Amino acid sequence: MGLTTYKRGVNNVYYTPGQLRDTVGLSKEAFRHWKRVVPAFANGRGHAPSFSSGDVLASAVLRRLTDTVGVRIGHLSEVVPTIFEVCNVSSWEALQNKSLVIDLEKRTCVAATDSALPVGELVVVCALAPLIKTLEFDLLNSSAQSHTKALPPISGSKRVREGGRR
């Protein structure tokens, strides 16, 4: 089979598992546990860049839900794919003025402006602007120090798959 370009969503920059863990603040043990529950984490193997900017944002949202709200990651397993999908469909710039609205009862997630926030019985609203600002700062600082500790992010146009494997 020939080489094909691998590109997911609108976010063309990919990060290593270590960069994702460091930026989001996950320990290696928590990351291993999340790999069993979060399908997007199961795809990130080894040290190769495999997580998009949207994956990093979705992971930060999950971290807020588990650490701040106290929801166990296992209880989020049915809504996790939707959170990753919503975070990967648009750029951070497009999501900047929106909030993720996660309905834990209906297991749905949408990006909405404040005036369009849906109401439900078990709804968690996560404003994305402060989260994106923190992630951009952390990733910028991480890139400046990446010469000694991690692979730098790469453009999605340079990411390739051969024979269906990464």
pLDDT of residue 163: 40
* More reliable by pLDDT, 7 or 97: 97
Say how many C-beta atoms besides its own lie within 10 A of residue 3's C-beta: 9
* pLDDT surpasses 50 at 5: no
Compute the mean pLDDT over every residue in the chain, rounded to the nearest whole number.
78
Residue ranges covered by each domain of the chain = 12-159
Looking only at Cα atoms, what is the longest distance across the chain? 50
Residue with tokens 């078990």: 122
Would you call 26 helix, strand, or coil by DSSP? coil
What digits encode the pLDDT tens for the residues 38-90?
A: 888 876 555 666 899 999 999 999 999 999 889 999 889 899 999 999 999 99
Cα separation, 7 vs 15, in Å, equals 13
Closest alpha carbon to 77 in 46, 110, 40: 40
Q: Structure pTM?
A: 0.75
